[in-house]
């Protein structure tokens, strides 16, 4: 019974490569809790999307329920950012479909190195999709600024 509900839901989900509407994306981004650290406005967030190499949005009717994007030099490196699915839509294959479409774009362009940061507790999702953790002695680094 549950499987039928999930399958019918998947059929209703539409995927698009255009940038989502600003207020819809802001609402989706805020659902992650990330904005507590970043303190981004809707205008700032939509600007980040305009500078992306490739985006995938997931919609249920006219509601943005999922998103993922890539920054890339178009040949050697690609970095996946902002993989988001609204909590009530998680574990229904939507994140898998978004990630699949992002990876297909990279493969089509023959990107050699695809990287991402994993949110806490989400590493297994990425491992199931072919990603491997960087070795302990090759960890990445970052600086987070608050404005």
The residues assigned a catalytic role are: 126
Report the alpha-carbon distance of residue 127 to residue 10 in Å, rounded: 22
Tokens, residue 80: 């996946």
Task: Indicate the pairing of strand 77-85 with strand 113-116.
Answer: parallel
Element at 14 (helix H, strand E): strand 13-16
Element at 114 (helix H, strand E): strand 113-116
Phi and psi at 113, nearest 5°, equal -130, 115
């Amino acid at each position: 019974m549950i499987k039928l509900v999930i399958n019918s839901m998947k059929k209703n989900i539409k995927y698009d490569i255009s940038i989502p509407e600003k207020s819809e994306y802001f609402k989706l981004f805020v659902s992650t809790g990330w904005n507590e650290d970043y303190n981004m406005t809707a205008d700032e967030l939509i600007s980040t999307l305009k500078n992306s190499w490739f985006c995938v949005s997931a919609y249920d009717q006219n509601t943005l329920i999922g998103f993922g994007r890539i920054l890339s030099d178009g040949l050697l490196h690609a970095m996946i950012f902002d993989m988001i699915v609204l909590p009530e839509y998680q574990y229904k294959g939507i994140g898998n479909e978004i990630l699949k479409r992002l990876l297909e774009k990279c493969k089509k362009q023959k990107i050699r190195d695809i990287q991402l940061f994993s949110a806490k507790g989400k590493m297994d999702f990425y491992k199931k999709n072919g990603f491997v953790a960087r070795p302990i002695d090759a960890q990445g680094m970052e600086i987070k600024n608050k404005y």
